Amino acid sequence: MKSDNSIQSTRNSCERMETISNHLWAVRNITNELSKPLSAEDQCIQSMSDASPTKWHLAHTTWFFETFVLKPLVFDYTAFNEDYGYLFNSYYEQMGPRHERSKRGLLSRPSLSDVYRYRQHVEDALKKFLKTQSLNLPQALDLIELGIHHEQQHQELLLTDIKHVFSCNPLKPQYHEYELCSSKNASKLDWVTDEGGLQEIGHSGNSFAFDCEKPRHNVWLEPFQLATRPVTNKEFLEFILAGGYKRPELWLSDGWAACQKNDWQAPLYWESSDGRHWNAFTLSGLYPLDPHSSVCHISFFEADAYARWAGKRLPTEEEWEVIAAPLKRSGNFSGNGMYHPESSYKDGIQQVFGDVWEWTASAYRPYPGYSPEQGAVGEYNGKFMSNQMVLRGGSCVTPEGHIRSTYRNFFYPQNRWQFSGVRLADSIPNG
């Protein structure tokens, strides 16, 4: 006869399997829905080496489940096409050679219909596996949960990448129809004060988090202030009109070099014929620039230069997390279907989650005691802890259930095609 502990363990395992299974199918369906407004031609284009075609995102997220769950854990699994391992591996060196990242847009074959069949093949195999009582099931559930959050990251990338693709088209096509009305007037910028001292950051508990969010650890903070909202388009336009893109004293050396090399004169997707009237390209097409919504599509270098011009600085990720941790996780996420930042028009601290990713002054590096996962999945985060900067909070194209106060996003400081903005911070002198 089974003990009460054994029965409870089995019940917990079944409940977890059902929860993860339901989450898996919901996320996979959302990815398919995000691709539906796009033609087969749209889904083949790669507009720059940092971006990937939509079709590749559909296939790569499928390859992840096939490679890390089905092939190693299901003894009778038959691959849909063995060549897909070479085509749709992203950066996992331990999984063998792969197609060059900058040439993903040359993959006219397999066809889009073949990629959808690939997705269905893998999903059918996952459904069959999840109905078994395999000894591999607990390990599989951990990997499936990782794959779910991996796919949500690619849902965000799908939207950011297709926005860049469409921005390169002279017709300025719409990804979807959404009437972007002018936002309400942004609230007055105010400050939240923290006295600093010894505090804790990082993930703890049994809920999902990426390995780079762990372990929880102590940090020492000096007294600081964090702005109650992100910087708006109107405020950033003042920086432009004050010659912000022409004043090297405001920029880090590498930032000034990037600004000159790439001829930056405004955030990505801003357009103006006279320097006074501005439009911004959105996933709903070209619109007059909304002065009250949060500025986005700026690099770390631009965020840092703006902060210096404003007489402030960027927050560290530790400062950001200490303020964000007790706040409710609500905001403008991808599920709203707007895919564009709004304004902060309420009092108090706003838009900590959603709308725009917020650059921090922190380099992406391991926490004290950090250890990457074993095996190829250990390449997921740890090996990128060099020359990148941390962003926090999520954006208007981030799935809401994917974000948390400990989530660490990271990009190179010159990257601009993400929905990245800036929230100011300031130090409080001692005494």
Position 258 scores a pLDDT of 98
Residues 206 and 123 in one domain: no
Note whether residue 180 is domain-resident: no
List strand residue ranges (DSSP E) for 243-363, in order. 270-271, 279-282, 285-288, 357-363
**Domain for residue 176, yes or no?**
no
pLDDT of residue 381: 80
Q: In the 8-state DSSP scheme, what is residue 181? A: P
Quote the tokens at residue 68. 């890390």
- Taking the CA of residue 336 as centre, how many other CA atoms within 13 Å lie in the half-sphere pointing to its CB? 19
> What is the H or E stretch that residue 421 is in?
strand 420-421
pLDDT of residue 137: 79
Tokens read off for 99: 């197609």
**Do 418 and 280 belong together in one domain?**
yes
In a domain, 186, yes or no: no
User: Tens of pLDDT along 346-401?
Assistant: 889 999 999 999 999 999 999 999 988 877 777 678 888 899 999 999 999 999 99
Q: Is 409 helix (H, G, I), strand (E, B) or coil?
A: strand
**Residue 81 domain boundaries:** 4-167
List the 224-227 sheet strands across, edge first.
191-194, 224-227, 425-427
219 beta partners: 199
Based on the domain organization, do 141 and 16 belong to the same domain? Answer: yes
Token digits for 233? 């388009």
Answer yes or no: do 162 and 240 share one domain.
no
Token pair for 288: 């007059």
Which stretches of 118-254 are assigned E, i.e. beta strand?
191-194, 197-201, 217-221, 224-227
CA angle 332-357-313, nearest 5°?
125
Within 10 angstroms of residue 404's Cβ, the number of other Cβ atoms is: 18
**Residue in 88, 67, 76 with CA at minimum distance from that of residue 146:** 67
In a shared domain, residues 132 and 271: no
Looking at the fold, whether 281 and 393 belong to one and the same domain comes out as yes
Residue 386: CATH number of its domain: 3.90.1580.10
What single letter denotes the amino acid at residue 246?
Answer: K
Q: What was the pLDDT predicted at 202?
A: 97
In a domain, 317, yes or no: yes
Residue (of 292, 306, 417, 298) closest to 358 by Cα position: 298
Q: CA 292 to CA 236: how far, in whole Å?
A: 11
**Is residue 409 assigned to a domain?**
yes
CA distance 397 to 418: 9
Number of other CB atoms surrounding residue 398 within 10 Å:
28
With a CB cutoff of 8 Å and minimum separation 6, the contacts of 131 are none
Domain presence at residue 178: no
Q: Is residue 233 domain-shared with residue 91, that is, in the same domain?
A: no
Has residue 175 been placed in a domain? Answer: no
| pLDDT computed for residue 54 by the predictor | 98
One domain for residues 329 and 196: yes
Residues of the chain with pLDDT under 50: 1, 5-9
Q: Note whether 195 and 153 are same-domain residues.
A: no
Of 132, 167, 202, the residue that ends a domain is 167
Dist CA 92 CA 379 (whole Å)? 6
Q: What whole-number distance in Å separates Cα of residue 171 and Cα of residue 179?
A: 18
Nearest alpha-carbon partner for 228 in 187, 278, 274 = 187
Residues 314 and 415 in one domain: yes
SS3 call for 220: strand
Residue in the structure block whose two tokens are 């897909």: 84
Instruction: Tell whether the torsion through CA atoms of 101, 102, 103 and 108 is positive or negative.
Output: positive
Domain tally for the chain?
2
In a domain, 181, yes or no: no
Q: Dig out the tokens for 360 from the structure.
A: 């921090």
Helix (H, G, I), strand (E, B) or coil at 19: helix
Residues 214 and 274 in one domain: yes
- pLDDT, residue 12, reads 64
Specify burial of residue 192 (Cβ count, 10 A radius: 0-12, 13-18, 19+). middle
**Are 48 and 131 in a shared domain?**
yes
Q: What whole-number distance in Å separates Cα of residue 96 and Cα of residue 420?
A: 33
Q: What is the pTM of this model?
A: 0.95
CA distance 155 to 279: 26
At 10 the pLDDT is: 53
Domain CATH for 14: 1.20.120
Q: Which pLDDT score is estimated for 431?
A: 55
CA angle 401, 377, 398 (to 5 degrees): 25
pLDDT score at 251: 98
